[in-house]
Amino acid sequence: MESRNIILTQDIIQKKIERIAYEIYEHNSDGTDIILAGIWDRGVIIAHKLAAILEQISPLKIHIIELRLDKQHPGEVVVSEEIDFDNKVIVVVDDVANSGRTMLYALKPLLKYLPKKIQTAVLVDRKHKSFPLSVDFVGYSLATTLQDMVLVEMNGEEIVSAYFE
């Protein structure tokens, strides 16, 4: 039998996403637009939720793109649409930063350009990373053992909970 340790409930997740949206706006209020680059598939769902809040609380023009990659073997990254990322603010969004590998590989196609800045946002940030990644906007930080897996449970477009096992 699997053991689930719930760390975030649906209500708390919504509050965390709202707080992340406010932080993104605070750090980018001098701009006119922002690109939310969601990592497929949970990161894309979170990016859409962030965009909905940002559109309510800020005058920023929000553009969402999807970054698709194999999280186990992240060689190639497919971007949902080719746009010019030069001098743009990009926030790469995912559900959990475990080792940091997925988020770092997701940056590959963006580095062909000269963005104004690239920031990162995750719902849950694990403190044990194998790759040099520091997350800018974090819903919840968690110190776990290397054996613990942090997972986000989804039901369609709804984020149900975050837990580790």
Q: Which 3-state string (H, E, C) describes 69-84?
A: CCCCCCCCCEECCCCC
* CA atoms of 58 and 29, how far apart (whole Å): 8
DSSP 128-163: --SS----SEEEEEE---TT--EEEEEETTEEEEEE
Global pTM? 0.95
Between the alpha carbon of residue 150 and those of residues 6, 36, 82, 103, 124, the distances in Å are: 10, 23, 32, 15, 8
pLDDT of residue 137: 98
pLDDT band, very low/low/confident/very high, at 2 (cuts 50, 70, 90): low
* CA atoms of 148 and 143, how far apart (whole Å): 10
End-to-end alpha-carbon separation of the chain, Å? 11
Q: Which residues contact 70 (CB under 8 A, 6 or more apart)?
A: 76
pLDDT of residue 1: 41
Chain mean pLDDT for the chain? 93
pLDDT of residue 132: 85
Is 132:77 a contact under the CB 8 Å cutoff?
no
Between 126 and 145, residue with greater pLDDT: 126
Least confident of 33-47, 82-96, 132-146, 151-165: 132-146
Between 121 and 73, residue with greater pLDDT: 121
Rounded average pLDDT over 111-134:
92
* CA atoms of 67 and 80, how far apart (whole Å): 6
pLDDT of residue 129: 80
**φ/ψ (deg, to 5) at 149:** -105, 130
Give the tens place of pLDDT for each residue, 57-100: 999 999 999 999 998 888 899 999 989 999 999 999 999 998 89
pLDDT of residue 3: 67
Residue 146: pLDDT over 80: no
Is 39:77 a contact under the CB 8 Å cutoff?
no
Let me know if 142 is exposed, middle or buried by CB neighbors in 10 A (0-12, 13-18, 19+): middle
